[in-house]
């Protein structure tokens, strides 16, 4: 059964009018760890990707594709890496439904355009960061 | 999440990870997630709820400081 309703698909197609360059969704699964969630995550990602020719999907296994997981810094499943012209550091842990689903759609558009909308002050400050920064955002679907 | 994602695209040094709290109870416990959204930066600076861009940036800079 489809996870996205016809209405969802139509809304996503509208939003994806903003896409410009290709985006790859790299999905990490591991059936031994969280089979059901990983299967749902893969289905959701494929349904989203089916709405645009600019979106491709690659499914990796956290236990087998260890080097790729390490390169992306992925340690949990299910996970999604949203990659545009380069890896911008956009990650999702868990099946992105509800509130997280709109964040996934936003991340795809952002990765496709590579154009963040931030103030000049923020952009300048970020350019001078002395070390790597990982921002974890915990949320729930509702 | 919006600001974190935009900052990640703006800077090679920034990574934004969205975590579904209910699906990762161990992580949520480890980071003492009681309300969402909860933001944790470099495991050093944390806050709950949405912040305006300038304050969010201040938290990022604090977390990245030597």
Portion 78-137 of A in contact with B at CB < 8 A = 84, 88-96, 100, 103-104, 106-107, 110-111, 114-119, 121-123, 125-127, 129-137
Q: pLDDT, tens digit, for every residue of A11-23?
A: 999 999 999 999 9
Is 0.90 surpassed by the pTM of this model?
yes
Cα A61 to Cα A118: distance, rounded to the nearest angstrom: 35
Could you please state the CATH topology (level 3) that the domain comprising A19-127 is classified under: Glutaredoxin (3.40.30)
Interface mutation target, options B20, B39, B47, B66, chain A, most CBs of A under 10 Å: B20
DSSP B9-24: HH-TTEEEEEEEGGG-
Cα A14 to Cα A26: distance, rounded to the nearest angstrom: 23
Q: pLDDT, tens digit, for every residue of A35-66?
A: 999 999 999 999 999 999 999 999 999 999 99
Give me the residue from A95, A119, A122 closest to B20, CB to CB: A95
Between chain A and chain B, the number of residue pairs with CB atoms below 8 A apart is: 172
Q: pLDDT, tens digit, for every residue of A75-92?
A: 999 999 999 999 999 999
**Domains in chain B: boundaries:** 2-64
Instruction: Say what the pLDDT of residue A141 is.
Output: 79
pLDDT over threshold 90, residue A1: no
Could you please state the CATH topology (level 3) that the domain comprising B2-64 is classified under: Glutaredoxin (3.40.30)
Cα A85 to Cα A131: distance, rounded to the nearest angstrom: 23
Collapsed DSSP state (helix, strand, coil) of residue A97: coil
Question: One digit per residue, pLDDT tens: chain B, 66 residues?
Answer: 899 999 999 999 999 999 999 999 999 999 999 999 999 999 999 999 999 999 999 999 999 997
**Domains in chain A: boundaries:** 19-127
Instruction: Say what the pLDDT of residue A67 is.
Output: 98
A88–B8: do the CB atoms touch at under 8 Å? yes
Lay out the sheet containing A55-61: strands in order across: A55-61, A23-29, A79-83, A87-93, B14-20, A133-139, B38-41, B45-48
**Sorting pLDDT into bands at 50, 70 and 90, what band is A10?**
very high
């Amino acid at each position: 059964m489809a996870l996205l309703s016809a209405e969802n698909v139509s809304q996503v197609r509208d939003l994806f009018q903003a896409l410009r360059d290709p985006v790859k969704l790299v999905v990490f699964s591991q059936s031994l760890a969280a089979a059901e969630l990983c299967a749902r995550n893969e289905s959701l990602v494929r349904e989203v990707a089916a709405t645009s020719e600019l979106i491709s999907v690659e499914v990796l296994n956290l236990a087998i594709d260890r080097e790729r997981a390490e390169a992306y810094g992925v340690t949990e499943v299910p996970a999604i890496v949203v990659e545009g012209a380069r890896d911008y550091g956009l990650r999702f842990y868990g099946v992105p439904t509800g509130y997280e689903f709109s964040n996934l759609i936003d991340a795809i558009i952002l990765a496709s355009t590579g154009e963040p909308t931030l103030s000049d002050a923020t952009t300048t400050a970020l350019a001078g960061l002395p070390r790597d920064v990982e921002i974890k955002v915990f949320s729930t679907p509702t | 999440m919006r600001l974190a994602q935009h900052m990640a695209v703006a800077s090679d040094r920034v990574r934004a990870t969205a975590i579904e709290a209910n699906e990762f109870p161990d992580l949520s416990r480890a980071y003492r997630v009681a309300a969402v959204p909860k933001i944790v930066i470099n495991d050093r600076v944390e806050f709950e709820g949405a912040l305006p861009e300038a304050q969010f940036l201040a938290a990022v800079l604090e977390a990245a400081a030597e």
